[in-house]
């Protein structure tokens, strides 16, 4: 059986399309990124440790992010970012722990520079009822000036994985979970069929580029910047 095709995403600096794993090597060598970082050093501001993070859903590995995060920031800010771009639906509790599972919990007010080192892993869990589990790997670190006034910079993310088609053959854009309760299967609807009167009183959930799609009350990410 042929291996599953990995999701790809575009480098925020040069636009080149890569897989999540391939993006690790690409970002370290991307000429456009190096050009931008060099120009940044001539701008006002203090240098600090800045970390390259690869973020991936623990189970739905098609979903990944490559972030750069300032060492002066805290885990609370990383938690807020993950909620905004991927997770937030109903204000559920969350936590970070050491390693790739339910290890020792790490406090939200922990400063990044006191914790992160290249190669280490963290796990982030959002919602302890209908959990979303995210793995965080510290890929590398650099000493320099941030590329933005925000503590976290998005360098790359996966494109929306291929989804099934509606009965009419058009791409699916909505899920109807009320239909699942009544018919024991989730209705997959295109934009046109989602407007059908049959679903007028049902709760439709959008398919978005997030591992949280279809869970709890998730309706999609916040508006950037995060």
Where in the sequence is the domain holding 128, given as residue range(s)? 8-157
Q: Do 69 and 138 lie in a common domain?
A: yes
Q: Do 192 and 108 lie in a common domain?
A: no
Q: Do 153 and 187 lie in a common domain?
A: no
Q: Residue 213 falls within a domain, yes or no? A: no
Q: Is 117 exposed, middle or buried (0-12, 13-18, 19+ CB in 10 A)?
A: exposed
Q: How many folded domains does the chain comprise?
A: 2
Q: Do 27 and 119 lie in a common domain?
A: yes
Q: How far is residue 122's CA from residue 192's CA, in Å, rounded to a whole number?
A: 42
pTM (predicted TM-score):
0.90
Say yes or no to pLDDT of 6 above 70: yes
Q: Do 27 and 115 lie in a common domain?
A: yes
Q: How far is residue 172's CA from residue 214's CA, in Å, rounded to a whole number?
A: 13
Task: Give pLDDT tens digits for 181-192.
Answer: 655 677 889 999
Task: Give pLDDT tens digits for 124-166.
Answer: 999 999 999 999 999 999 999 999 999 999 999 999 998 888 8
Q: Do 182 and 92 lie in a common domain?
A: no
Q: Is 126 exposed, middle or buried (0-12, 13-18, 19+ CB in 10 A)?
A: buried
* Mean pLDDT, residues 18-40 taken together: 97
Q: Do 147 and 195 lie in a common domain?
A: no
**CATH code of the domain containing 123:** 3.10.290.30
Distances (CA, A) of 171 to 1, 123, 178: 26, 33, 20
Q: Residue 181 falls within a domain, yes or no? A: yes
Say yes or no to pLDDT of 5 above 80: no
Q: Do 120 and 17 lie in a common domain?
A: yes
């Amino acid at each position: 059986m042929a291996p599953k095709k990995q999701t790809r995403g575009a480098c925020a600096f040069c636009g080149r399309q890569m897989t999540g794993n391939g993006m690790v090597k690409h970002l370290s060598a991307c000429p456009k990124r190096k050009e931008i970082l060099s120009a940044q050093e001539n701008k006002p501001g203090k240098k600090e440790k800045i970390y390259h993070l690869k973020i991936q859903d623990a189970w739905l590995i098609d979903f990944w992010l490559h972030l750069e995060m300032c060492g002066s920031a805290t885990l609370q800010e990383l938690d807020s970012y993950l909620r905004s771009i991927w997770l937030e639906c109903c204000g559920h509790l969350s936590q970070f722990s050491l390693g790739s599972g339910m290890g020792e919990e790490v406090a939200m007010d922990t400063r990044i520079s006191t914790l992160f080192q290249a190669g280490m892993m963290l796990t982030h869990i959002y919602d302890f009822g209908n959990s979303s589990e995210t793995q965080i790997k510290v890929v590398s670190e650099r000493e320099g000036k941030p590329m933005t006034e925000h503590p976290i910079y998005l360098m790359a993310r996966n494109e929306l994985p291929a989804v099934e088609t509606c009965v009419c053959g058009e791409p699916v854009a909505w899920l109807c979970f009320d239909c699942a309760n009544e018919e024991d299967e989730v209705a997959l609807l295109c934009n046109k069929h989602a407007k059908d009167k049959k679903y007028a009183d049902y709760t439709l959930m959008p398919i978005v580029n997030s591992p949280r799609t279809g869970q709890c009350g998730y309706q999609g990410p916040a508006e950037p910047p995060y």
